[in-house]
Amino acid sequence: MAVLRRPSEPRVFPRSGWDTIDPSVPVEEETIPTYRPDKFYPVHIGEVFNHRYQVVGKLGYGSSATVWLCRDLLEHRYIALKVYTVSTSVMREIEIYNHLRTVHSDHAGQSCLRPLIEVFQAQSPDGCSVHTCLVHPPLGISLDQLASLLPGGVMSCAMVKTTIRNILAALDFLHTEARVIHTDLQPNNILLGIKDETILSKFEIAEFESPVPRKTLGNRTIYLSRPLPISYGTPVLCDLGEARLGTEKQQGDIMPDIYRAPEVILDMSWDYKVDIWNVGMVIWDLFERRHLFKARNPERKLDDGYYLAEMQAVLGDPPLEFLAQSERSLQFWDKNGKWRGAAPVPDYNLNTLEERLQGDEKDEFLRFLRRMLCWQPEERATAKELLFDPWLMEGLFK
């Protein structure tokens, strides 16, 4: 006979004892250029969502959601609650998660993907809007946050290898068994797993004993996020909000601006190999602590011509058969594949840009990168092939 556990009582959080922020100073989500307060649900610490999830602290924010650590009063565990803005459609993300639930597999890469626990709707306190809420297992800090805490702001070779093995395993599962393209790999979407869950109870106690600074604006409170400590768990791939079902030819603009694959910039159809390009870009970010491509003109504005000129320098001349797939390519190359774009091609290459390594170690690292950073998608290695690359496997069995 099953033992029914009694729900936990909600914690009563302090009503005073925090630093007050000047109402005229923008903080957190208010600093987003497109911020509109009426679009965000006015979450407050101590609030209980869906009759079970009590908010115990703020984990972060973005243009379309705020993220909170909650205590599940029914299951006696912690969860991460993502509360979306009123105008944000998350149907695609929910569709992907529902699809993943139908995939019956023992692929190890599944454990490197953050699952969805529950979806529910929350009506704003004024009754004027409805917000979609996603419930996930809690995770630690992002790789972007981690890098900023490391000496020199960069990861060691061993850390990069461990991370990329997990991401490639997740992608191999998505591509080969789930038939899903992620399209949005970036350090912000890779979070550390949590080995020791006491950091979550310590997070809650810290909020109770020493509340974060905040400012009150009439009907809402803007809280500062409370950082989690480094958790040293397995890196997990998150955020399927831009994922696509089907790994064959697709159309449309995808990927973060400075990570876009050449076929996306040139308005070609694309497939799952855009994720492989993305992995190469993320590796460079983590290991070099700077973006491989700036993609900006002298006015600091995003400019495809400057982006493609940088690609020309790093990748060399694109194959004519690749350019022939895009009418837009004639804006930047002539019919013989000669660069004619307005932006100058920089005087460097991948070898000169990489300055951390020497000798054979550098050669092996760049050879690994070049398996991902190719003009032609079909020339990029698959996630499975990359998992067994000598550079990635070196030191694995010592």
How do strand 48-49 and strand 118-123 relate by DSSP bridges?
A: unpaired
Query: Given this model, what pLDDT does residue 239 score?
Result: 92
Compute the distance between CA of residue 84 and CA of residue 95 in angstroms, rounded to an integer.
16
The string of DSSP letters for 313-328 reads HHH-SPPHHHHTT-GG
Domain count within the chain: 2
CA angle (234, 210, 214) in 5-degree steps = 90
Q: Residue 96 in contact with residue 83, Cβ under 8 Å?
A: no
Domain identity same for 89 and 188? no
Domain identity same for 190 and 203? no
Q: Is residue 239 assigned to a domain?
A: no
Tokens of 175: 């591509």
Report CA torsion sign: 32, 255, 147, 133.
positive
Q: Is residue 237 assigned to a domain?
A: no
Compute the distance between CA of residue 271 and CA of residue 379 in angstroms, rounded to an integer.
13
Domain identity same for 7 and 113? yes
Cβ-based neighbour number of residue 16 at 10 Å:
6
| 25: CATH | 3.30.200.20
Compute the distance between CA of residue 296 and CA of residue 276 in angstroms, rounded to an integer.
23
Is residue 82 a known part of a binding site? yes
Query: Given this model, what pLDDT does residue 1 score?
Result: 46
| 274: CATH | 1.10.510.10
The yes-or-no answer on residue 275 being catalytic is no
The string of DSSP letters for 166-221 reads HHHHHHHHIIIII-EE-----GGGEEEEES-THHHHHHHHHHHHSPPPEEEETTEE
Cβ-based neighbour number of residue 85 at 10 Å:
21
- Please, which residues bridge with residue 113 across strands? 237
Look up residue 261 and give its amino acid: A
For the entire predicted model, the pTM comes to 0.92
CA angle (139, 140, 141) in 5-degree steps = 130
Q: For residue range 138-193, what is the model confidence (pLDDT) as tens digits?
A: 999 999 899 888 888 888 889 999 999 999 999 999 999 999 999 999 999 999 99
DSSP 114: P
- Enumerate residues 6+ apart whose C-beta is below 8 A from 122: 41, 49, 50, 83, 130, 131, 133
Among candidates 362, 333, 332, 337, which has minimal Cα distance to 350? Answer: 362
Domain identity same for 93 and 37? yes
Q: Is residue 13 assigned to a domain?
A: yes
Domain identity same for 102 and 156? no
The string of DSSP letters for 345-395 reads PPS--HHHH--S--HHHHHHHHHHHHTT--SSGGGSPPHHHHHT-HHHHTT
Domain identity same for 111 and 153? no
Query: Given this model, what pLDDT does residue 398 score?
Result: 54
Look up residue 390 and give its amino acid: P
Using the 3D structure, point to which of 230, 253, 275 is the last residue of a domain: 230
Cβ-based neighbour number of residue 380 at 10 Å:
24
Residues in the chain: 398
Structural domain of residue 22, as residue ranges? 1-138+197-230
- Please, which residues bridge with residue 119 across strands? 134
Tokens of 157: 């070779």
Domain identity same for 11 and 118? yes
Compute the distance between CA of residue 158 and CA of residue 12 in angstroms, rounded to an integer.
44
The string of DSSP letters for 254-311 reads -S-GGG--HHHHTT--B-THHHHHHHHHHHHHHHHSS-S---B-TTS-B-HHHHHHHH
Low-confidence ranges of the chain (pLDDT < 50): 1-3
Domain identity same for 350 and 332? yes
Dihedral over alpha carbons 42, 256, 87, 238 (to 10 degrees): -60
Q: Is residue 236 assigned to a domain?
A: no
| Catalytic residue selected from 22, 106, 144, 184 | 184
Query: Given this model, what pLDDT does residue 153 score?
Result: 81
Domain identity same for 303 and 206? no
Domain identity same for 357 and 208? no
Q: Is residue 240 assigned to a domain?
A: no
Q: Is residue 348 assigned to a domain?
A: yes
Domain identity same for 179 and 202? no
Residue 92 belongs to what H/E stretch? helix 91-101
Alpha-carbon separation of residue 308 from 133, 142, 152 (angstroms): 39, 29, 29
Query: Given this model, what pLDDT does residue 18 score?
Result: 95
Domain identity same for 252 and 149? yes
Q: Is residue 235 assigned to a domain?
A: no
Tokens of 313: 């320098």
Query: Given this model, what pLDDT does residue 261 score?
Result: 97
Compute the distance between CA of residue 140 and CA of residue 233 in angstroms, rounded to an integer.
8
Q: Residue 10 in contact with residue 70, Cβ under 8 Å?
A: no
Q: Is residue 379 assigned to a domain?
A: yes
